[in-house]
Structure 1
Amino acid sequence: MADIKTNLIEELQWRGMLHDIMPGTEDQLNKEMTTAYVGFDPTADSLHIGHMVSVMLLRHLQKAGHRPLAIVGGATGMIGDPSFKEAERQLLDDEAIQKNIAGMKGQLEKFLDFDCGENSAEILNNYDWFQDFSFIDFAREAGKHLTVNYMMGKESVKKRLASGTGISFTEFTYQLLQGWDFYHLYKTKNCRLQFGGSDQWGNIVTGTELIRRKAQGTAFAATCPLITKADGTKFGKTESGAVWLDPEKTSPYEFYQFWLNVGDTDAERYIKIFTFLDKEVIDQLITEHAEAPHVRLLQKRLAEEVTRAVHGQEELDIAIAASNILFGKNVTDQLKTLNERTLLQVFDGVMQSEITKADLEGMAEIADLLSTGTQNQLFASKGEAKRMIKGGGISINKAKLQGSELPKDIELLQGKYILAQKGKKNYCLIKVV
């Protein structure tokens, strides 16, 4: 029997990760190694940071000595969860769901240990036990144990009905399907606990009720709060959309920047929820941050910890280097290490210009480069450029200019870009075509 290492409920409470808990849950977790699960809806081929609370719950569960199950809803994803949604979602076909499951599995494996003995994590797809389960079997085995009155009493159902849009039979049965998941895992994996977001409470307790009525067993439920920003707006959204864990959807640099730019109040909450730093370390960081908020100590540590966990140390180093480039000194070498995508993201929104290779080869002076182009330039005239160069206020690729001549061997970033800088804050990214 695996040892119980910490009191999981106490850990979740101080981190602000506990919303509702069924009586007896803490006693069960302190009594013995407990198998618990969280469900993930496979609506995309990547998790986003909104899913990370559930991922962190599973990781804390495993660290405390318990066994985590991640259930990917290959079957329930074909139905759609009505919980507190205004309209029915688009249904996915099997091919799309399998693609999504594969992407999510790779990301979960970064957080959970799948080879640590008795409390090794496991990923399961509920389609595996639903695919041969006929409608008649489902009606007999699940449907007869819960009344329509019970199902109508769920807040998610009542809210949909009150909205006037109604609810389809398909979505109405969702809580029974999720309840059957819990029952199936109770019978086959000795799973005694389900975690989820606070909007899942009704679906989770349907499972505990099905286990009680059908198996005369006892199961437990706990939920975490839905994470929002300090102003009450939705967490995990930017102007360009969701913040994904997939580096092709959200680059490590963009990912790092998201955490770096959260407000002070949010940073204090998020560092407890989204990192594994212990209480003493976090309390010390909060104290130090309060003494000098402008240094943004909390945000920097939060961004480092989460980016490292999701993307690894190498990508974190690149993201930090990229973040330092705009305002840092002696960063010429760091600038050269950026890949093209990160380079363009760092300088998104700055002035851009375009010249041909032939034009570049024909230029003799730096001033020619800074006042020529098909779009905007740093200077309106060559004379203005010369005066600023003479005053020492121009850098090329973050290196201060020495003299006015254009080097014949000027290095192109990613083989096609030159970064010109006037003063401290004015940039022009020149593309050589």
Structure 2
Amino acid sequence: MTYHPKSEFMNVMMQRGFLADCTDYQGLDEALSKGVVPAYIGYDATAKSLHVGHLMNIMVLRWLQKCGHKPITLMGGGTTKVGDPSFRADERPLLDDAAIADNIAGMQKVFAQYLTYGDGPKDAIMLNNAEWLDGLNYLSFLRDIGRHFSVNRMLSFESVKSRLDREQSLSFLEFNYMILQAYDFLELNRRYGCLLQMGGSDQWGNIVNGIDLTRRVLDQEIYGMTTPLLTTSDGRKMGKSQGGAIWLNGDMLSPYEFWQFWRNTTDADTGKFLKLFTELPVEECERLGALEGSEINAAKIILANEVTTLLHGAEAAQAAEATAREVFEKGGVGDDLPTLTLTGDELGGGMSIVQLIVKSGLAKSGKEAKRLIAENGARLNDEPLTDAGLMVDASQLATPIKLSAGKKRHALVQLG
């Protein structure tokens, strides 16, 4: 695509690699050049925290605000009760109102780190689609909104087709999801003048539905933009690690572990991730990403520090870097490692090293911990751990002990 945008936001999106597709490049660019554009991304409240897989779109909202526009974070308090079937092999578990409210409160903490919320024209706002979905009258909704949807067309969308092709059940409840998401865009346009919906490229069909519906019902010109689905250079989905999801809430994943995730980026991804997840100038991202050999490690530390500073603050990033140096360069313990604190009651007469490895989060199960020990992947205070039957009692925890799984994952165990 050879389109050269006039607006700062579109320029940033294209230069930094955020743009996968847009329903009308020129029309959106014109709107962005003329004045403040309210734009939204929707988030279903299916967990207490967002994870690294959400971070690209959070950065999109941050850049939108930095370029003088108004971000809307739409929480799916209503749609979470239905479940998005997009590219899922099975139906999502359904949550009650209390669990949804709890999850939204947890996610809100992360957005507050990246966006400025308030009442000003460019301040971000957080909305909940339960505001308009909970009170819908089913018959009125079918008559006024449902009539605009072609079932033939809905069946042709990739997210639905993939389920049907695999002969996996798609409930009527889930089939309704795309109608509700389209209706969100209409209501956001009607209530808040929202002109743009953004999301991952798997949301393209849902976004186009919302644009069509809003044109038909309100005769309004609105736009859609998608970001690429991010995979690492070795083809894995971004944000998945051996230890599970990389959560953005500090109480679910320590700032040190978050920092370490970025420090462990592969060489090939470093430049791309600097452009997407930091605010360093594009030229600097490209210079750092082109470094080779041991020099690329310096670029990865810059990446880890910049990303951690945005989420957890500069102090947390500095502490994480200091701990990493302490742990890896000097073989020390480091006081910012993930820490498991046991009470005397919990420890009792002693606890097996296998249980400690599981409790400290270095393995998901006793079986995995035993395999780690058998394959010489576990260390106790930097010494190889070979005895899966080892018991640890209070006397051995007079000073904290350091457990390691491989070279890069560590935890402290101490008595509280």
TM over 0.5: yes
Which residue identity does 1:306 align to in structure 2? V
1:317 Cα deviation after fit: 2.2
What CA RMSD, in Å, does the superposition of the two structures yield over aligned residues? 3.2
Partner of 1:409: none
Partner of 1:108: 111
Measure the CA separation in 2 of the matches of 1:85 and 1:295.
37
Paired residues of 2:272 and 2:289 also in contact (CA < 8 A): no
Q: 2:287 pairs with 284, 287, 290, which one?
A: 284
Partner of 1:12: 13
- SS of alignment partner, residue 227 of structure 1: coil
How many percent of aligned residue pairs carry the same amino acid? Answer: 39
Q: 2:250 pairs with 224, 247, 251, which one?
A: 247
Q: 2:231 pairs with 225, 228, 232, which one?
A: 228
- SS of alignment partner, residue 17 of structure 1: coil
Residue pairs, 1:343-382, within 5 angstroms: 349-351=378-380, 375=390
Paired residues of 2:201 and 2:229 also in contact (CA < 8 A): yes
1:167 Cα deviation after fit: 1.4
Which residue identity does 1:8 align to in structure 2? F
Structure 1 residues 193 and 413, CA, compared in 2 at 3 Å: closer, same or farther?
Answer: farther
Partner of 1:321: 322
Which residue identity does 2:326 align to in structure 1? I
1:149 Cα deviation after fit: 2.0
> How big is each residue's C-alpha offset from its partner over 1:246-290, in whole Å with a ceiling of 9 and x where there is no partner?
122211111111110010111121111111112132233234x23
Partner of 2:351: none
Q: Provide the TM-score with structure 1 as the length reference.
A: 0.77
Structure 1 residues 337 and 87, CA, compared in 2 at 3 Å: closer, same or farther?
Answer: closer
Which residue identity does 1:65 align to in structure 2? G
Residue pairs, 1:70-219, within 5 angstroms: 70-115=73-118, 117-219=120-222
Which residue identity does 2:104 align to in structure 1? I
Which residue identity does 1:174 align to in structure 2? Y
Q: Which moved more, 1:190-199 or 1:260-269?
A: 260-269
Matched, 1:31 2:59: no
- SS of alignment partner, residue 74 of structure 2: strand
- SS of alignment partner, residue 184 of structure 1: helix
Paired residues of 2:340 and 2:413 also in contact (CA < 8 A): no
- SS of alignment partner, residue 306 of structure 2: helix
- SS of alignment partner, residue 232 of structure 2: coil
- SS of alignment partner, residue 91 of structure 2: coil
Paired residues of 1:72 and 1:126 also in contact (CA < 8 A): yes
Measure the CA separation in 1 of the matches of 2:94 and 2:234.
33
Structure 1 residues 338 and 76, CA, compared in 2 at 3 Å: closer, same or farther?
Answer: closer
1:150 Cα deviation after fit: 2.5
Partner of 1:362: none
Measure the CA separation in 2 of the matches of 1:214 and 1:432.
63
- SS of alignment partner, residue 234 of structure 1: coil
Matched, 1:274 2:257: no
Which residue identity does 1:113 align to in structure 2? T
Paired residues of 1:336 and 1:413 also in contact (CA < 8 A): no
Q: Which moved more, 1:246-255 or 1:148-157?
A: 148-157
Q: 1:417 pairs with 356, 381, 400, which one?
A: 400
Structure 1 residues 107 and 419, CA, compared in 2 at 3 Å: closer, same or farther?
Answer: closer
Matched, 1:309 2:338: no
Structure 1 residues 316 and 153, CA, compared in 2 at 3 Å: closer, same or farther?
Answer: same
Partner of 1:68: 71
1:121 Cα deviation after fit: 0.3
Q: Provide the TM-score with structure 2 as the length reference.
A: 0.80
Which residue identity does 1:305 align to in structure 2? E
Structure 1 residues 278 and 295, CA, compared in 2 at 3 Å: closer, same or farther?
Answer: closer
Structure 1: runs of 5+ lacking an equivalent: 354-373, 378-411, 421-426
1:117 Cα deviation after fit: 2.5
Measure the CA separation in 2 of the matches of 1:148 and 1:432.
61
Which residue identity does 1:19 align to in structure 2? A
Structure 1 residues 14 and 314, CA, compared in 2 at 3 Å: closer, same or farther?
Answer: same
Structure 2: runs of 5+ lacking an equivalent: 342-359, 363-376, 383-388, 404-409
Structure 1 residues 240 and 345, CA, compared in 2 at 3 Å: closer, same or farther?
Answer: closer
Residue pairs, 1:377-416, within 5 angstroms: 416=399
Structure 1 residues 431 and 350, CA, compared in 2 at 3 Å: closer, same or farther?
Answer: farther
> How big is each residue's C-alpha offset from its partner over 1:184-221, in whole Å with a ceiling of 9 and x where there is no partner?
00001000100000000000010000011111111100
> How big is each residue's C-alpha offset from its partner over 1:131-165, in whole Å with a ceiling of 9 and x where there is no partner?
11121122122101222223222221122111111
Measure the CA separation in 2 of the matches of 1:192 and 1:276.
25
Aligned residues: 366
